[in-house]
Structures are given as structure tokens and as C-alpha cells.
Chains A and B, each alone.
Chain A
Amino acid sequence: MIIVTGASRGLGRALSERLTAKGFEVLGLARNASETPFECLSCDVSSYESVKDVVKQVKARRVEVTGLVNAAGIAQMNLVIAMTSESVRRIIETNLLGTINCCQLVAPLMLRQKSGCIINFSTIAVPLSLKGESVYIASKAGVEGFTRSFAREMSDFGIRVNCLAPGPIDTDLIRGVTAKQIKEIVSRQVIQKQFGADSVSDLTELLFDPRSYSISGQVLHVGGI
């Protein structure tokens, strides 16, 4: 079973659908579990107790958990001085703490089989230090650092941990980004093209492929940086 957070919409939904289509058993998690072609449970990743509750349900099923995709994320494109403290807190709690909560509680389900693949999500906005995204970037830079260190911690248990960092993908997350800004971001990638959820799904599949056994602790920028 592969657990995917943020699975009800956006990138998480697209990844879950792709993995399901490829024959993986997917358990989606979302704050508002909607109708999906895969099983989806309600879970607020920013809440340790909420994640723990889901993990308890998964444990009771006695299924082998082989993967975790931390796709849940929120953004608000705004100057930090114009943001409410509540918005700042929500972004950090969902993006960074949510990723840590899920890794901390789901990884133990993989320890026994001494194998597993965890994929976290960052953004190309981190190396580009984009204006108006400082809190979002802070949360994702935290995810990158966490990924690198957590990968070392999990290495002895055969669990690989990597991070995908896409550019602007056409989802709700970049609703506030103008076409001009997207063009500017894309022009700074190695491959100057706007990639879609399909490209991220391809990379996700690649990381789940057993032939990726030697890749861990890496941040892969979609399109290159």
C-alpha cells in the first residue's frame, strides 16, 4: 500500500490516480475526503493525533505499507509583511510539520520489512528565492533539509527518502501566480518548459521503481535548476 497525502485534489490527486492506474494499492488522505477512484480517508496532516489515528487504522489492516507520498501542501503568494500570523502558521504547519508528522508516524510501518520509499514535496521556488513566497519557501526549504537528514536516519532500515521539487504546475496552489510570473520562473529552469502533473507522476513512478534503489536523500528539481 502507498499512502498519499493531499489526495483529494491537485497534484496529490493526480499522483494517486496514476499510482492506482499502475496497479498500486493507494490510500489517499485529505482534509476533506471526497469521492475518488481510490480509497480516501479524512486526515489533517498538520495534526499529529489525526495522522496517528489513520496510522492506527492502517496497522489494524495488517497490510504492507511500501510507500508514502507527502503531497499535501498549501501556499499563499503574498509579501510576508502583508500576511496574517494565522496564515503563516497554517503554511508551516501543513507543509513542514505535516510532512514530518507523516514521516514520523508512517515510517515505523516500513521498518519491519526493511524497505520503503518516501517522497516529499518541495518547490523550485526554494532555489529561485521567489519574491512573495517567503513563508512558503521557508516551509519547503525545511522539507528539503528534513528529507536529506531523515534519508540518512532511514537508510539502515532500507527506506529511501527523496524530495521532488516541481516548478509551476497547473493546480489551485499557483492560482495567484500570473502567466508572466510563470514564464519568468520557467525561463530560469534548465529545461525551459512548464511541466504538468504528468511529469511529476512520471518521476514519482520512477522513484517507486525498485531500480531506483540507489537514490536517497535527493531533491530532484523538475525541469532542472
Chain B
Amino acid sequence: MNTYETLSEDIIELIIELLEDKSLEVSLETQLIGDEGILDSMMLVELCLALEDKALEMGFEFDWTSEATLSRSRSMFRTLGSLTNEFIAQFSSSE
């Protein structure tokens, strides 16, 4: 598995831990926030803290307090795929 696949798997695990319904299928296209999003705002904050921890393990700081965090059109939390992309981008720019 490449970095993208490994990280998206890790993030899926973090998300499933937060969900009440553990049987929910989560893919790269799954919407995390918005009308069809699977996370409420409380879960979103918990996910951010978990991602901060994950980033620290990897030796960088994950910044989720950006202007666009909760924007439906631009947010990194639109889908699992966009979140994984942003996480990798922040990791790469820290190297």
C-alpha cells in the first residue's frame, strides 16, 4: 500500500471509532460534513484531535483551524478523500 492508501485506511479507522453505527461503509467518496455528512460537529472536533495525534506521531503539526475547515464547498472535510489529500499535503510540506 502507498502512503495515500495507508493514511486513508488509518483515517477510516479513526472515523469508524467515532461512529455509533460501526457497520457504516466509509469510502474515499463518503461525505464527512454537510447534508449527507456522517459526522456531527462534536465528532468532527474529536476527529481533528485524533488527526493532531496522528500527525504528531508522524512528526508534523496538523492544522485544522483554517478558514476553510467548515466551508461546505472548500473544506478539507468534504469527503474522506479530500481530508486524506489535505493531511498528506500538510505532511509533505512539513518535510
CA distance A130 to B29 in the complex (A): 54
Among residues 31 to 54 in chain B, which have CB atoms less than 8 Å away from a CB atom of chain A?
41-42, 45, 48-49
Binding site for A on B (CB under 8 A): 41-42, 45, 48-49, 61, 65, 67
Q: Residues of A within 8 Å of B, CB-based: how many?
A: 12
Please tell me which stretch of A24-32, A104-112, A209-217 contacts chain B, meaning at least 4 of its Cβ atoms lie within 8 angstroms of it: A104-112
Q: Mark A145-158, 1 if CB is under 8 A from B, else 0.
A: 00000000100110
Query: How close is B54's CB to chain A, nearest CB, in angstroms?
Result: 14
Binding site for B on A (CB under 8 A): 48, 52, 55, 59, 104-105, 108, 111-112, 153, 156-157
CB atoms of A59 and B42 under 8 A apart: no
Taking CB as reference atom, which chain B residue is nearest A105?
Answer: B65
Inside 8 A of B49's CB, which chain A residues have their CB?
111-112
Inside 8 A of A111's CB, which chain B residues have their CB?
45, 49
Query: How close is A65's CB to chain B, nearest CB, in angstroms?
Result: 14
Closest 8 CB pairs of A and B: A105-B65, A112-B49, A156-B42, A108-B65, A111-B49, A111-B45, A52-B65, A59-B61
CB atoms of B65 and A104 under 8 A apart: yes
A104, A105, A156, most chain B CB atoms within 10 A = A156
Inside 8 A of A157's CB, which chain B residues have their CB?
45
